[in-house]
Structures are given as C-alpha cells and as structure tokens.
Amino acid sequence: MPHRHVVKYTFLKLDPAWRRLDAVERAGHKREFIAACADFAEDHLLRCFSLVGTRGDCDLLLLSQAQNLDRIHEFHVVLGQSGLMKWATTPYSYLAMTKPSEYSEESRLEIRPGHSRYLFVYPFVKTRAWYRLPAEERQRIMAEHIRIGREYPDIDLNTSYSFGLDDQEFVVAFETDRPQDFLDLVQRLRTTESSEYTLRDTPTFTCIETGVERALGALDGEALAIAATHEALA
C-alpha cells in the first residue's frame, strides 16, 4: 500500500525591527535558516513561498512533507534554532495528511514538487449536515464540483486531510500560473450545491513560489540592493 505523508504549512511573520539590524547580522540569520531548510530538503519535499505584498500578517510559507510526524517536528526544532526565527512568529500553522479522495480518483498520496508560479492555500471545514447526507448524495453533489474544476485544466489541486490532527478538516492548495483563472474558478464554485455545506474556508493565502533564498531576500530587500549596486558599478 502506498505510504501516506504528513504535510505541514508553516506561515511566518518577521518582526519589523529585524530589518533594522546590521546587514551582516541579518545575513547570518538567513544562512542559518537556509542551512536548516537545506538539511531537511535533502530527503524530503520542502517548498518556500513569499507572501510579501500579498498578505499583511505573514511574510513567507514553508510547505514541508515527510512520512511521519517526528521528522516534521525535528525540522521545526532545528529551524527554531536559527537566528531568524528569534525574530519570527507563526501566525498560521496547518497540519494535515494525504489520503485517497472519497469522490475522485485524481487525488494523490503526496504533494508534488512545484511546477507553477502561484499557490493559493486555505483551511476548509464542512458543516455537520454534510456528513449526515447519504454517501450517494454526497457523491452526486461533489460530481458537479469536480466537473467545474476540470474546466480549468491549468489549475492543479492538492487536498490534504486534518481530521483529528488540527482545527480544520482539510487544507486545500491550488497551483497555477494564472491567478485570474483561480479567481474565476472560486467564483464559479460559489454557485454550486456543495458550497451550501461550507462552514469555513478562510483565511486564504496567495503565495508566490520563490525558493528559500529569494523568499528571505524579499524580507529586507538586501538582495535587490546588492543587485542595484552591482548594476550601477557595471
């Protein structure tokens, strides 16, 4: 049987005072953070996204995946030892696992490596009334939901499950290079019967895939300042 994976979405917010530290000290903090991420990424999936400019309450997202909870725990312990994390808070954190979908054969047991520029993430909770419906009725309702989703083939969906692990029931993550398509898809899904059984689907995070080093550079603009200096000297 294929192995299910643990998925962790960790959103971080940096104290603005960190940006006023000396550039050398900030660079050291970044190196420690990057080293912790690189160590985990040797054997596990790790993706990093910037939220600078898309949210006011968090700056970056680390999406990590492992075959057990212990490895996720160890990664965050090591990460917490970096100088950068002494200046960071975790305003949002979502823990989930992969499993086959009840309604579609297209689900997967692991999050795939990135292939699109943008990731849209939100926790999701259905009403209790949904679970009281007969299985065949839920399948009928979800068939419409899935059909509409297939009208947007450039949008890839990763669904993970949090029942009993965290406050939400699902964490859904959509990938695409076209944010306008995702906006249109969500608006269309509001008209479906399945939408009537949504209890909560916020907050929503618009994330830009950048890699760890570029995401950290966006925190203080230091990389841009260095590039501008090199360009002026060229």
CB-based contacts of 177: which residues, under 8 Å, 6+ apart?
116, 117, 118, 154
**Residue 20 one-letter amino acid:** R
Q: What CATH number does the domain containing 89 carry?
A: 3.30.70.1030
d(C-alpha 8, C-alpha 99), whole Å:
15
> To 10 degrees, the CA torsion angle through 201, 207, 213, 218?
-110
For 36-69, what is each residue's pLDDT tens digit? 999 999 999 999 999 999 999 999 999 999 999 9
What is the pTM assigned to this prediction?
0.91
Q: Which residue has the tokens 């917010």?
A: 13
Residue 226 pLDDT > 50, yes or no? no
Over residues 130-139, mean pLDDT = 96
**52: burial class by Cβ within 10 Å (0-12, 13-18, 19+)?**
middle
Q: Is residue 51 part of a domain?
A: yes
Number of domains in the chain: 1
Pull the structure tokens for residue 82: 């970096």
Q: Is residue 76 part of a domain?
A: yes
CB 15, CB 179: distance < 8 Å? no
**Residue 100 one-letter amino acid:** P
Q: Is residue 151 part of a domain?
A: no
